[in-house]
Structure 1
Amino acid sequence: MKKNVANMMCLDLFLASQDEEDFAATKKSILPSEFLQPELISFNLYLDYFSIEINKLNRENDINKIKAFASKFEWIDNIDKIFEGENFETIVLTNEQQEILWVNDGFNKMTGFNKNFALKKTPSFLQGENTCPKTRARIREKIRKNEPFKEVVINYRQDKSSYKCEIKVFPLFNEHTTHYIALEKVV
């Protein structure tokens, strides 16, 4: 029994280290009865892989949603370039008056606020007593100048707990600035 468990764990580790093509080729040579043993104890490896794949898919869907907005509003910005190499939890899309038009699912996870609750509000509704006035002023000035920028701001979740939020804001243009996109993460 111990030998079988050790063999299954080794098999599981080996399969988890394979890329998709090698995994598919290897899987064909494994008998289903061997592969589906109840002793397969490293299922967490598969769950980790699955979680990573779901996150990639969610990111791709979020970017495609922004690309749909880009097409609708005829932005000349390179959307792929904006997202290239960026690590974010939340995307916030606002109009020129900074009213929120769309947020991704990460917004609810990060802030606790329902996506629909955020619509038509400005992102400043997340700020509170410990949000630095100087940071607020720098943000307003960069938006006024239509400059991309990065800031760290103290925001507040729905449960009133505070968190440090790194925001990267990009103005979006057609003939002039029409929208802003913010990529956000907890730091």
Structure 2
Amino acid sequence: MKNSFDKMMSLDIYVSNLDKEEYVKIADNLNPSSKKSINLLSWGIQDLFIEKELYSDLKLIKTFSKSFNWKNNITSIIKENDYESLVLTDIQKKIIWVSDGFTKMTGYEKEFALNKTPHFLQGEKTKETTRKRIQTKLLKGKPFKDVIINYRKDKSTYKCELYIIPLHNKDNSEITHFLALEKEVV
């Protein structure tokens, strides 16, 4: 994911280094006229909010990483994967932290989720075979993706794609936590 702020700064630097003749050639493209419609998303406004959330999530997860001495490359995990919500659990699968996206996706406040297992998001339509498959994959201690039917606070269901990454201590002798990158899928 490219940083939108960097893109805008790059344009500013480029334009400021143009001579007058080069600037005149592109000036019409830089100043929106009243005849042209402007899509604000094309200016990267939405990307700036996404980048701010990404930066906030990364900063908090890196704080946990330092505290728990993880060997995993947290920066690449966060920056290279698409997600709406992050859920961090201990080895017993009790939630110790969720991102702001968790509340947006599920309707549950962050505080409500703490010290619970993600099982509280499951219900009647959540298949037992899916639960068992995920449990088996967790025991293998390798990153994996799966899809599970979860329930929001308002009791509506959604398909949740999980990308679960076991987090190892620096000497790689044990898994200390699990990080779930989650997004709703159709």
TM-score range, shorter chain: 0.7 to 0.9
Q: Deviations over 1:25-83 (max 9, x none)?
A: 659x8xxxxx799x598564168621211111211210121111010001111212323
Moved more, 146-155 or 75-84: 75-84
Aligned to 2:112: 117
Question: Highest Rg: 1 or 2?
Answer: 1
TM-score scaled by structure 1?
Answer: 0.78
Please give the alpha-carbon distance, in whole angstroms, between the structure 1 residues aligned to 2:35 and 2:151: 43
The residue type paired with residue 114 of structure 2 is L
The aligned residue for residue 182 of structure 2 is: 184
Aligned counterpart, 2:81: 86
User: Aligned pairs, how many?
Assistant: 167
> Any gaps of 5 or more consecutive residues in structure 1?
1-17, 30-34
* 2:132 aligned with 1:137: yes
Instruction: Answer yes or no: is 1:21 the counterpart of 2:34.
Output: no
Q: Is the Cα contact below 8 Å between 2:91 and 2:178 reproduced in 1?
A: yes
The one of 53, 58, 78 equivalent to 1:63 is 58
* Alignment match of 2:101 (pick from 80, 101, 106): 106
TM, length-normalised to structure 2:
0.78
Show structure 2 runs of 5+ residues with no match.
1-6, 17-22, 24-30
Query: Could you tell me whether the CA contact under 8 Å between 2:150 and 2:158 is conserved in 1?
Result: yes
Q: State the 1:22 CA deviation.
A: 2.4
Q: Shift of the alpha carbon at 1:153?
A: 0.3
SS in 1 for 2:44: helix
4+ residue runs over 6 A deviation: none
RMSD: 2.7
The one-letter code sitting in structure 2 at the alignment partner of 1:102 is: W
Distance in 1 of aligned mates of 2:64 and 2:94? 15
Question: What is the identity percentage for the equivalent residue pairs of Structure 1 and Structure 2?
Answer: 44
